Each structure stands twice: as C-alpha cells, then as structure tokens.
C-alpha cells in the first residue's frame, strides 16, 4: 500500500510528478548584444523539464509547488490552480519542506496542515531562468505576478545549496546576476542575466549597468548614467581645477611600455594585457597646520611634465589635509619605468607631506578585470582565488602591508579549509564590501586595498610587484594548491621574474626564506 510522503495517509494515494527544474536555451542565431537596453526579450525556448516521482494523496498534491495536475493534463511546471501551495520538494536534500508562511496561508484558507513527520520551514533560495513567455508562474503567493520576466526554476533549502548538494544533484551551477542579484541558471552574458540585459545598458562613462529608463543619450551617441551625465555637464567648469572632488572619474587613458611589456608576459597565460591603476594617498600630520592641499595638487600638475596626462588628483574625506594621487591605467612595465613616480614622491616630501607616517593613507591598486581570464567564469574564479590567497596567508599579507588597522581593508573572513572552491566562492561573494582587502565590487577592476601608503620608492615598487604576483598566482594556481601553500610562493615567483625590490623589501620586513640570502640588499625602512 502506498503512503503519502507528506501526511502519511494511505487513502487516495497516487504517484505524481513533482517539478524540479526546467532548462531554457536561447533561440539560434541570437546575438545577445543586439537586445541590450532595447527592452525586447532575448528569444528562448524550453529545453527540458525534470521531475521527481513521489507518492502523494490527492489533498497534499494540490498543495505541492510544481506538482502535476491530478486530472492528468500535461503540465509544464509553472501553474497552479486554485490553491496556494504549502510544500516544495528540495532537489538538494531530497525532502519536502514547508514554505515559511505556510501556516499563515493555511489559517487564511481555514485548513489544517497535516504531516506525518517533522517538516521544517528552512531558509530557502530561488533559482531563476529567463522564461521569455507571458505565462502565469508557479511562485509562492507572496511573489506571484501575472506576467514576470523571471520564472522560478528550482527551490532549494539554503543548507543544501551552500554545501553544494544542489549543484551536485542537479548538475546546475547558478550564478548571481551582478545587476539584479538573483541566482540565475545559464542565461548570462558577462555576469548579467538575460532579463537585465534586455532592460539595462552599460554607461559609456563609468561602465556601470543602468536601467534604460535612467540613461541619458548624449549628442555624441554616448549613453550615460545620471552621475556621468552630470560629470560631463560639469567637465568644462572643472577643467581648470587641479584638485577634483572625490567622485571624479575621467575616461581612462591606457599606457603601455611596448619595449618591455613582453618581458612580463607569463608563457602559460594568454589573456588580455593587465593594466594597473594606482591610488596613492598623501597627507599632512594635522588638520590645522600646513598648506591648503590644493597647493600640492597645483604643484604636481604645473611642475612635473606629463603629470596631467597620466595622473589626476582628488580630495579624500578620510585624510586630514591630504590629496589622493590617481594614475590612469598603466601596464606593470609602464609603471616600473615611469620616472614620474620618483618625482611625485619628491615633490610631496619637499612640501611637508607624508604617507606611511601619518597613518591615514593607503596605497590602492586596481587590476583590470578582463586580464583575469578569457571569459566571465575564468575572471570570476581568478578574482575569488585572489581573495582565497589573502585569506590563507592573511598574517603574511598583514606583515607585508605595514598596516596596523584594517577598517578600510578588512578580511572577508569566510575561508574554511574543508570547503570546496565553489562553497568558498559563494560565501566570499555573500560578504562583499568596497572596504574588503580584495574589493570585487567594481565591474571593470579588482581593487587591492591592503597596502599602507608610502613615499619610499622601493616600498612602492615592491608593493606593485606584490600585486602583480597576486594576480599571476591566482591565475596559475589551483584553489587546492593555494589552500596548501605559504607566502614562500610569492618570494619564489619574485625570484624567477627578477623582482629585486620585492625580495629586498621582504627581507627588510622580517620574512624568512632560503632565497632571502645574506647578500640581499639592505632595505631602508619606511619613514615617508
């Protein structure tokens, strides 16, 4: 005799199909970018629906999310009528669960929820796909809508999703859309789901994705967000200013060193050229003494030839009376061979500015995202492995950084060695902040914020080399290798490449390694 899997009754029990998930695929000959920002849906068709067979009584079957109709009519997994659902089947733990509000819904319906065993109402996640059709959706009542751009593809309890059971048992690897934040299966272009691709467009100024109703169409054909539109309107007014507001962000100018860039190409990595944007904060020791910071900005722009084309200067509210000196993106070789850096540091020191000593200053590095891999998945993995390196070797990173406080560059603090990489990625992305040591919030760069500011040129170059190595090791090592490694891999890689400033700095900071021989040059401790 069959028994209902939910209430335990033996009466009117039949075998039903319970919906697990449905796959969609784009129509052939579709170029996704043709649909960006138009509001027209990217054509997709249903590929397959997957089902779980379960013995249910007729009453419980009416209340199960995605259960085939009792009358045997063909069912596609997206409609229920006439009852609100109480239960869903989780593909991860392979159990029936209650929705959180099921008891409240039952009270409204004036029915009793009966179950044969303890049935929990755990936190759950919805995994979506772009359905592309104006159909009624089988969502729980609190999210139902007649026509919606999303269809719930699957429901999973959070525990089963986080421990990887959902992906292992379904073969699906949902990604979180970086615009709407939903977990979506397959329908992605560069981290954006199809539905957001339809209704949003990239700002030609900052590269951020904006809903098309919030876009300004410029006379030159550019599409700008409100912020970039306002910036452009004010551009002429600000063109004569040396010290810009904190939010100032001009269109980037990319600099290379054609003769030397080839020396730093990893033979096993074939990706776009890596560009580094650098933010060096300098400050005065008091809010009240010293010169107006605009004077330093003017001196840098007027006394150093080429400064204005490669750098700009900004206010920063975290400084006393300081200046943030920001470079346009340069390749590693272009930075390394740019004598302007020494000149900038000399001008700052001669005018009474410091960076390391004052304690308010940071040295931040932005790494171009498209240099982290050949597609979104590779770039995403590399960014997360950069976080993993910082987590595994946090104390060594702290020693290298010279920092004593980490309020503006704190640890993700989510690494557990037993976790597989997918679990680590999920937790790392769930704890993102612009003030993480490895900040992955930006759409076009990864920012490493951990280094303390400096006007010591050797320290500056060693820090640039450290960030270069961080990117390279994250791209070339597996997550398993990183979890079992120590800081020695940085020293060994630096020795192979010839990063002498890095080697010298590490010896001065008290790192130990056979490669840090007694004849390594003496490091002059930071005093600037």
Question: Could you report the per-residue pLDDT of 111-161, keeping only the tens digit for each?
Answer: 888 877 767 767 777 776 554 443 333 333 323 333 333 456 678 888 888
- Tokens found for residue 516: 């840090």
Q: Are residues 191 and 266 in the same domain?
A: no
Asked if the peptide bond before residue 82 counts as cis, ω within 30 degrees of 0, the response is yes
Q: Over 80: is that where the pLDDT of 269 sits?
A: no
In degrees, to the nearest 5, what angle opens at C-alpha 450 toward C-alphas 445 and 456?
A: 105
pLDDT of residue 247: 85
* Any domain includes 318: yes
pLDDT of residue 146: 33
* Any domain includes 520: no
**Of 23-27, 268-272, 338-342, 403-407, the least confident:** 23-27
Q: Are residues 413 and 445 in the same domain?
A: yes
pLDDT of residue 79: 41
pLDDT of residue 288: 59
Can you list the alpha helix ranges (DSSP code H) found in 146-190?
A: 158-162, 165-170
* Any domain includes 115: yes
Q: Are residues 191 and 220 in the same domain?
A: no
> pLDDT-derived band of residue 240, with 50, 70 and 90 as boundaries?
low
Our count of domains for the chain comes to: 3
Q: Are residues 483 and 347 in the same domain?
A: yes
Averaged pLDDT, 66-81: 52
**Of 153-162, 273-282, 500-509, the least confident:** 153-162
pLDDT of residue 138: 34
The backbone torsions φ and ψ at residue 483, rounded to the nearest 5 degrees and listed phi first, read -65, -20
pLDDT of residue 129: 59
Burial of 488 from C-beta contacts in 10 A (0-12 / 13-18 / 19+):
middle
Q: Are residues 179 and 318 in the same domain?
A: no
Q: H or E element: which one contains 176?
A: strand 175-176
Q: Are residues 139 and 212 in the same domain?
A: no
Q: Are residues 261 and 225 in the same domain?
A: no
* Any domain includes 424: yes
Q: Are residues 422 and 498 in the same domain?
A: yes
Nearest to 286 by CA among 363, 364, 354: 354
396: domain CATH number is: 3.30.590
* Any domain includes 519: no
479, 388 contact by CB (below 8 A): yes
Q: Are residues 255 and 151 in the same domain?
A: no
Q: Are residues 208 and 179 in the same domain?
A: no
* Any domain includes 2: no
Q: Are residues 387 and 271 in the same domain?
A: yes
Q: What pTM was estimated for this model as a whole?
A: 0.57
* Any domain includes 65: yes
Q: Over 70: is that where the pLDDT of 78 sits?
A: no
> Helices (H) and strands (E) in the chain — how many of each?
18, 21
> pLDDT-derived band of residue 68, with 50, 70 and 90 as boundaries?
low
* Any domain includes 524: no
Q: Are residues 305 and 422 in the same domain?
A: yes
The backbone torsions φ and ψ at residue 385, rounded to the nearest 5 degrees and listed phi first, read -70, -25
User: Highest mean pLDDT: which of 79-88, 310-319, 411-420, 482-491?
Assistant: 482-491
**Of 26-40, 62-76, 206-220, 278-292, the least confident:** 62-76
425, 189 contact by CB (below 8 A): no
Q: For residue 58, what are the domain limits? A: 13-199
């Amino acid at each position: 005799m069959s028994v209902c899997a939910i209430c335990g009754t033996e009466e009117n029990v039949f075998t039903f199909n319970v919906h697990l998930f449905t796959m969609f695929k784009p129509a052939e000959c579709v170029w996704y970018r043709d649909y960006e920002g138009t509001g027209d849906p990217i054509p997709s068709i249903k590929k397959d629906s997957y089902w779980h067979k379960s013995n249910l009584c007729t009453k419980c079957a009416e209340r199960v999310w995605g259960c085939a109709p009792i009358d045997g009519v063909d069912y596609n997994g997206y409609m229920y009528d006439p009852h609100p659902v109480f239960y869903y089947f989780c593909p991860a733990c392979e159990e029936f669960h209650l929705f959180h509000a099921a008891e409240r819904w039952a009270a409204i319906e004036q029915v009793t929820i009966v179950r044969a065993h303890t049935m929990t109402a755990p936190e759950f996640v919805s995994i979506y796909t772009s359905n592309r059709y104006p159909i009624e959706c089988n969502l729980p009542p609190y999210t139902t809508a007649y026509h919606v751009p999303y269809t719930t593809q699957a429901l999973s309890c959070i525990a089963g999703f986080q421990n990887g059971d959902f992906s292992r048992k379904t073969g699906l690897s949902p990604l979180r859309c970086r615009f709407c934040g939903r977990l979506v299966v397959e329908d992605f272009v560069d981290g954006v789901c199809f539905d957001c691709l339809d209704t949003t467009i990239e700002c030609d100024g900052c590269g951020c994705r904006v809903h098309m109703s919030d876009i300004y169409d410029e006379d030159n054909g550019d599409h700008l967000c409100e912020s970039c539109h306002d910036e452009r309107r004010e551009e002429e007014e600000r063109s004569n200013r040396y010290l810009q507001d904190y939010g100032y962000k001009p269109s980037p100018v990319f600099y290379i060193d054609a003769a030397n860039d080839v020396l730093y190409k990893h033979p096993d990595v074939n990706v776009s050229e890596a560009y580094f944007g650098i933010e060096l904060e300098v400050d005065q020791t008091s809010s009240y003494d010293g010169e107006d910071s605009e004077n330093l900005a003017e001196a840098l722009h007027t006394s150093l030839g080429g400064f204005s084309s490669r750098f700009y200067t900004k206010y920063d509210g975290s400084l006393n009376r300081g200046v943030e000196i920001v470079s346009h993106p340069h390749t590693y070789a272009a930075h390394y061979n740019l004598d302007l850096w020494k000149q900038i540091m000399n001008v700052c020191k001669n005018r009474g500015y410091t960076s390391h000593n004052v304690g308010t200053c940071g040295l931040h590095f932005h790494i171009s995202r498209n240099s982290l891999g050949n597609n979104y998945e590779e770039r995403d993995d590399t960014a997360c492995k950069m976080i993993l390196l910082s987590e595994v070797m946090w104390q060594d990173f702290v020693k290298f950084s010279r920092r004593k406080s980490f309020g503006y560059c704190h640890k993700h603090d989510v690494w557990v060695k037993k976790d597989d990489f997918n679990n680590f990625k999920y937790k790392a992305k769930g704890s993102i902040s612009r003030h993480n040591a490895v900040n992955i919030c930006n759409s076009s760069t990864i920012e490493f914020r951990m280094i303390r500011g400096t006007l010591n040129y050797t320290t500056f170059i060693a820090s640039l080399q450290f960030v270069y190595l961080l990117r390279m090791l994250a791209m070339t090592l597996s997550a398993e290798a990183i979890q079992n490694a120590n800081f020695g891999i940085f020293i060994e890689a630096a020795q192979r490449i010839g990063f002498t400033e890095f080697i010298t700095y590490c010896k001065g900071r008290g790192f130990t390694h056979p490669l840090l021989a007694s004849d390594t040059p003496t490091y002059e401790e930071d005093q600037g």
